[in-house]
């Protein structure tokens, strides 16, 4: 198998046209990124004075039928509107986790749509319906309706995170992939940074949901702006359509178009894959199981630390902004690591960094707030970069015909980890929560050792190529 990337030969590693598509996707993903990180503002842990007879105006007294909430920081929230305190506090954790539950079917549904019907339609559907459902969640009058909306939001989040990422990967050449891991996180990092600023001025949760959704209704026009992935078209035998797309992109990037057909004719194709294809061949089966477990442990740690930071002492808006700002150097570091280090070394190092930084927190005195916050933010940065690398690693391991199905399947397990995370944070005994997050991060590091090395490989189209490629890499190591 040639190590030359045919798509890169035709349209370039990442030209003006791919840059334009990346900008569109970054802008379109902001509502998703806001939903992933807004839990500390719309469902915060709240302070209150109990006005019940016999409670003597005690702070955070339980049980309490007449709480008077502290609104000095957040004027209204899901927690205060539906009194999710005392024996109803588990409902707050459920509301936090409901989106993670929704991502499970969303990853499977949109992963199947993407592999069967194309990256374009899956990406646009998930982006557009995300905006609509978030806006609906802002006006529902009942708590159970809000839960249903959170579940539906999760479905669209699952599709958006996977499909838009894979579309960007497949429009890029292999030489650009190290930079793509940083570019792909621009929306998350900038969204995470701007959210506390928006929330500072918009302190009512319903208005916050509307402000972070309705302005993005223009995403419906993306149908005429975003192309289908030529790699997907080739992989399912639609080579003539792929040639048209590639010729259009090549012209936009000022590249020659006269030899496109001869290059594409040499590429293998295969029927569209399905979820069952993840378990039919030996090596794909092993990598599927490993990826699923790693994604679960990674998501558990990542989302758990995010919510833990929201509970740290100090100004919540400042804490979130600082933690988000620290992801900028983390993103730069992950690009450098992807450029110069092997995938396996980088990701194992990141997971280990997460585990160690969290364990240190247990031994830091409670009055050293700044130091504890610093190590928590280091742990968050490590978890973030690990998640970024897991996405890239998975997209490189699995072939085009089942790439979205594989990542969708792994994402199902990631949601299990994300679902459990709020309950671990809410255990109430800090050292136990931290120990759980740290231990699972170490387990993820160990499992990543069983992945094949994928640095500098050309994205593979078919399952047969994947099985042969893995055998060839093993022979080369012997």
Q: What is the per-residue pLDDT for 293? A: 92
Q: What is the per-residue pLDDT for 121? A: 94
pLDDT digits (tens, 9 = 90+) for 417-446: 877 887 787 776 778 888 888 899 999 999
- Asked if residue 472 has pLDDT above 70, the reply is no
So what CATH class is 6-43+84-477?
Answer: mainly alpha
- Give the predicted TM-score (pTM) of the model: 0.76
Which of 161-170, 249-258, 307-316 is predicted most confidently?
A: 249-258
Q: What is the per-residue pLDDT for 1? A: 40
The average confidence (pLDDT) of the chain is 85
271 phi and psi angles, rounded to 5 deg = -65, 150
Q: Quickly list H helices, 38-81.
A: 39-42, 78-81
Domain locations in the chain? 6-43+84-477
> 88: left (phi > 0), else alpha (psi -120 to 50), else beta?
alpha
- Asked if residue 149 has pLDDT above 90, the reply is yes
* Residues forming a β-bridge with 68: 49
- Of 44, 114, 84, nearest to 400 by C-alpha is 114
Q: Quickly list H helices, 171-221.
A: 177-183, 186-201, 205-211
The residue-averaged pLDDT of 100-120 equals 86
The residue-averaged pLDDT of 381-385 equals 83
- Asked if residue 343 has pLDDT above 70, the reply is yes
Instruction: Report the C-alpha gap between 31 and 157 in whole angstroms.
Output: 9
Instruction: Report the C-alpha gap between 180 and 256 in whole angstroms.
Output: 24
The neighbour count for residue 458, using CB atoms within 10 Å, is 18
Q: What is the per-residue pLDDT for 30? A: 95
pLDDT digits (tens, 9 = 90+) for 315-340: 778 878 887 888 888 888 888 888 88
Which of 126-135, 155-164, 183-192 is predicted most confidently?
A: 126-135
> Exposed, middle or buried, 325 (CB in 10 Å: 0-12/13-18/19+)?
middle
Q: Worst-scoring range by mean pLDDT, 40-54, 288-302, 367-381, 436-450?
A: 367-381
- Asked if residue 152 has pLDDT above 60, the reply is yes
Q: What is the per-residue pLDDT for 98? A: 87
- Of 279, 278, 245, nearest to 404 by C-alpha is 278
- Which 3 state secondary structure label does DSSP give 133? helix
- Asked if residue 174 has pLDDT above 80, the reply is no
Q: What is the per-residue pLDDT for 469? A: 67
Contact in structure between 26 and 222 (CB atoms under 8 Å): no
The residue-averaged pLDDT of 262-272 equals 70
């Amino acid at each position: 198998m040639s190590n030359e990337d045919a798509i890169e030969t035709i349209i370039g590693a990442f030209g003006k046209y791919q840059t334009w598509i990346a900008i569109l996707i970054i802008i379109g993903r902001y509502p998703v990124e806001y939903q992933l990180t807004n839990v500390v503002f719309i469902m915060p842990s709240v302070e209150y004075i109990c006005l019940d007879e016999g409670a003597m105006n005690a702070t955070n007294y339980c049980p309490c039928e007449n709480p008077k909430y502290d609104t000095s920081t957040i004027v209204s929230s899901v927690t205060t509107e539906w009194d999710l305190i005392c024996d109803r506090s588990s409902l707050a954790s459920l509301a936090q986790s409901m989106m993670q539950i929704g991502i499970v079917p969303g990853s499977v549904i949109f992963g199947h749509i993407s592999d069967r019907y194309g990256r374009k339609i899956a990406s646009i559907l998930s982006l557009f319906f995300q905006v609509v459902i978030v806006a609906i969640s802002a006006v529902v009058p009942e708590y159970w309706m809000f839960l249903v909306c959170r579940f539906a939001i999760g479905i669209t989040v699952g599709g958006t995170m996977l499909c838009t990422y894979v579309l960007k990967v497949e429009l890029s050449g292999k030489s650009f992939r190290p930079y793509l891991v940083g570019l792909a996180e621009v929306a998350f990092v900038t969204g995470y940074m701007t959210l506390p600023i928006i929330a500072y001025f918009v302190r009512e949760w319903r208005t916050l949901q509307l402000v972070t959704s309705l302005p993005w209704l223009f995403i419906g026009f993306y149908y005429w702006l975003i192309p289908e992935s030529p790699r997907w078209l080739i992989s399912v035998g639609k080579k003539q359509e792929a040639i048209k797309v590639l010729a259009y992109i090549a012209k936009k990037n000022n590249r020659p178009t006269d030899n496109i057909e001869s290059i594409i004719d040499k590429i293998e194709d295969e029927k569209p894959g399905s979820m069952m294809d993840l378990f039919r061949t030996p090596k794909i089966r092993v990598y599927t199981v490993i990826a699923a477990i790693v994604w679960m442990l990674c998501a558990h740690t990542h989302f758990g630390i995010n919510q833990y930071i929201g509970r740290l002492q100090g100004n919540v808006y400042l804490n979130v902004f600082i933690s988000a700002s620290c992801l900028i150097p983390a993103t730069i570091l992950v690009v450098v690591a992807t450029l110069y280090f092997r995938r396996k070394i980088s990701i194992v190092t990141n997971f280990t960094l997460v585990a160690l930084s969290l364990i240190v927190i247990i031994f830091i005195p409670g009055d050293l707030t700044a130091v504890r916050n610093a190590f928590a933010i280091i742990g968050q940065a490590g978890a973030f970069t690990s998640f970024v690398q897991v996405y890239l690693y998975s997209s490189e391991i699995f072939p085009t015909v089942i790439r979205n199905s594989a990542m969708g399947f792994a994402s199902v397990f990631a949601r299990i980890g994300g679902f459990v995370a709020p309950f671990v944070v809410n255990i109430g005994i800090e050292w136990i929560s931290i120990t759980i997050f740290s231990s699972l991060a170490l387990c993820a590091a160990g499992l990543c050792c069983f992945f094949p090395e994928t640095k500098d490989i050309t994205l593979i189209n078919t399952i047969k190529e994947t099985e042969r490629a893995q055998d060839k890499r093993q022979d080369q190591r012997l």
